[in-house]
Every structure is written in structure tokens, then in C-alpha cells.
């Protein structure tokens, strides 16, 4: 089946440092979404990217979709303790089982004050 590889699995940063997580697919995606899960919570939708080369920003968060629509990144500038959690990407493929929706394994962001 389709796979979305997400790295790193864990990232420790000092508060105020930047953070980036990456997702890669071996095949072209129709779109990619990003979700955030706070400790003890459930994943919550952050954003969707659809177009090749698309860049979207939400305050300190910048999301990019690669030109080939096979990779994506989430970058957080100047992390804050409220950014703690696990960030998941989810790629949607044309066709395939499970509506072609595949989640990455997630990146756990740990912030040290």
C-alpha cells in the first residue's frame, strides 16, 4: 500500500528554537494535510495543501508542499511551550483503499523551557 514517511520521530528543542518535520511519499499525492495532537488529546486538523509548490502560513507555522507533490514540511519558528505535541501529516492518493488517505507516523515535539 501507499506509505508516507515522516521524520524525525522525536525532536527536542529549547524554547525559542525553530522546529521542522518532513513527510515524503514515493508516489504523487493529490493533497496533504497536517494535524496536531496535544498530549492526551486527539489529532486536530491544521491545514491542507493541494497545489504543487504551495506555501501556507499560520502565525509561526509555515507549511510547504513540494513541486512534485511528493513531499511536505511543517516549520515552526521560535517554538513556545504551547507547541508541544505530535504533528502528523496525512497524504491523500488518487484511488486506492481507505479513500487513499495515509497518515505518517508523526513527529513528537518536546520543548525544554
Partner 1 sequence: NAGVTQTPKFQVLKTGQSMTLQCAQDMNHNSMYWYRQDPGMGLRLIYYSASEGTTDKGEVPNGYNVSRLNKREFSLRLESAAPSQTSVYFCASIRLSTGGTEAFFGQGTRLTVV
Q: What is the binding site for partner 1 (CB under 8 A)?
A: 1, 6, 9, 30-31, 33, 35, 41-45, 48, 50, 88, 90, 92, 97-99, 101, 103-106
Q: How far is the CB of 99 from partner 1 (least distance, A)?
A: 5
Full 3-state SS string of 3-55: CEEEECCEEEEECCCCEEEEEEECCCCCEEEEEEECCCCCCEEEEEECCCCCE
Q: How far is the CB of 100 from partner 1 (least distance, A)?
A: 9
- Beta carbon nearer to partner 1, 76 or 90: 90
Cell of 66: 513540494
Q: Number of helices (H) and strands (E), helices first, in the chain?
A: 0, 11
Q: How far is the CB of 112 from partner 1 (least distance, A)?
A: 20
Amino acid at each position: 500500500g501507499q506509505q508516507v514517511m515522516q521524520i524525525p520521530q522525536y525532536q527536542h528543542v529549547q524554547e525559542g528554537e525553530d522546529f521542522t518535520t518532513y513527510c515524503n511519499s514515493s508516489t504523487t499525492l493529490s493533497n496533504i494535510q497536517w494535524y496536531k495532537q496535544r498530549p492526551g488529546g486527539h489529532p486536530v486538523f491544521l491545514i491542507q495543501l493541494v497545489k504543487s509548490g504551495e506555501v501556507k502560513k499560520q502565525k509561526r507555522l509555515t507549511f510547504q508542499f513540494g513541486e512534485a507533490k511528493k513531499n511536505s514540511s511543517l516549520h515552526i519558528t521560535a517554538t513556545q511551550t504551547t507547541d508541544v505535541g505530535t504533528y502528523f501529516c496525512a497524504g491523500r492518493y488518487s484511488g486506492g483503499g481507505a479513500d487513499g488517505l495515509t497518515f505518517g507516523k508523526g513527529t513528537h515535539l518536546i520543548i525544554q523551557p
